[in-house]
């Protein structure tokens, strides 16, 4: 029996690398799209554990011709669109680029799949940022919650989300949106707040830094682990009928909570080192994001394996190992 073939855009990122490993572990042939970069190792540094097993292609979701060429070459059974300019704060600085990659890039991929492989099952990485500050009366956000994004990133994701629903209905394509809440790991980019806190705390514990500058410490997010969430991505493409699913833990923690936990694991008090700085505040902020993943759990049987604490423990331990640190306490 022929192995299923999957194509992943954004394969070099946190989610793409974990998804590639997961799909390989269950017998898939995995293809990925990487953008040409002058420092090529930056594109594949997260893929070291499985690099030799992958089929990588140069391309870009903003270049329709490259997508058509790659789809013709690999003829995928499943397509996972994880490509995006995914930093919310940065999206205010580069709104056009964010819209082109995160929004129109998704539309390019949909159109290419419609032309080349209309039977392929497509996963679109949607985001809880699409909700903005719209919250249901019980304090949760779910598939039916009103969507009013408050960042260029959220706006671009909402465009892609609606494009997927349009192509699903208009062309009878199998397309599922995964509305993912925040998910972290040791592979999270260093400019994302959880990684910034972990890296900063370790640097302070090593004596290399004395303070950590952050933005809004009261912002609350529903944080899970990327490994749990990429497993959910795959599960969303396995039913007979496509759907849109919220993926979340259902519990929110503040940035302050992250600081307190991480610094305490290193025998420090975050209050002695964390400084709130104006330059890291967003022009418009989300207050409390917390998701209800009841449909995903009930229909597909998904459950997270990591907790908030075990996720952060893994991030701290990984950072210590990276710097070959033995003398400071953690985990």
Q: Indicate which residue of 129, 151, 184, 248 is catalytic.
A: 129
Q: Indicate which residue of 127, 128, 151, 176 is catalytic.
A: 127
Q: Within 13 Å of residue 185, how many CA atoms lie on the same side as its CB?
A: 17
Q: Indicate which residue of 153, 229, 253, 306 is catalytic.
A: 153
Is 58 annotated in the active site?
A: no
Contact between 258 and 304 under an 8 Å Cβ cutoff? The reply is: no
User: Which residue blocks in the chain are alpha helix, DSSP H?
Assistant: 14-25, 41-44, 64-74, 88-91, 95-98, 105-116, 152-171, 193-205, 226-236, 255-265, 294-300, 308-322
Is 153 annotated in the active site?
A: yes
Contact between 75 and 113 under an 8 Å Cβ cutoff? The reply is: no
Residue 7, strand partner residues: 31, 79
Is 303 annotated in the active site?
A: no
Two tokens at 86?
A: 């995914």
Q: List phi, psi (to 5°) of 125.
A: -80, 95
Two tokens at 9?
A: 């855009």
Give the active site residues.
127, 129, 153
């Amino acid at each position: 029996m022929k192995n299923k073939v999957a194509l992943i855009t954004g394969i070099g990122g946190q989610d793409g690398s974990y998804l590639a490993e997961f799909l390989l572990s269950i017998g898939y042939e995995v293809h990925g799209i990487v953008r040409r970069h002058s420092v090529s190792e930056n594109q594949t540094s997260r893929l070291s554990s499985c690099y030799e097993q992958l089929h990588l292609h140069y391309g870009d979701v903003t270049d329709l011709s490259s997508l058509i060429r790659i789809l013709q070459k690999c003829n995928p059974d499943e397509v996972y669109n994880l490509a995006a300019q995914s930093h919310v704060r940065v999206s205010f600085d580069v709104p056009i680029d964010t819209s082109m990659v995160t929004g129109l890039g998704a539309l390019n991929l949909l159109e290419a799949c419609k032309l080349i492989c209309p039977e392929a099952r497509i996963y679109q990485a949607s985001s809880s940022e699409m909700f903005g500050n719209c919250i249901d009366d019980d304090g949760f956000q779910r598939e039916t919650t009103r969507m009013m994004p408050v960042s260029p990133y959220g706006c671009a994701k909402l465009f892609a989300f609606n494009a997927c629903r349009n192509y699903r209905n208009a062309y009878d394509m199998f397309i599922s949106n995964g509305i993912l809440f925040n998910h972290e790991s040791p592979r999270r980019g260093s400019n994302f707040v959880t990684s910034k806190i972990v890296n900063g705390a370790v640097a302070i514990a090593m004596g290399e830094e004395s303070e950590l500058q952050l933005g809004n410490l009261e912002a609350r997010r529903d944080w899970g682990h990327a490994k749990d969430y990429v497993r959910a991505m795959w599960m969303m493409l396995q039913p007979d009928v496509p759907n849109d699913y919220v993926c979340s833990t259902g519990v929110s923690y503040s940035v302050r909570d992250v600081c307190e936990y991480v610094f305490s694991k290193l025998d420090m008090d975050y209050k002695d080192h964390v400084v709130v700085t104006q330059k890291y505040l967003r022009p418009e902020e989300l207050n409390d994001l917390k998701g209800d993943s009841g449909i995903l759990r009930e229909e597909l049987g998904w459950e997270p394996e990591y907790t908030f604490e075990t996720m952060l423990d893994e991030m701290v331990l990984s950072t210590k190992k990276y710097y070959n640190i033995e003398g400071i306490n953690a985990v």
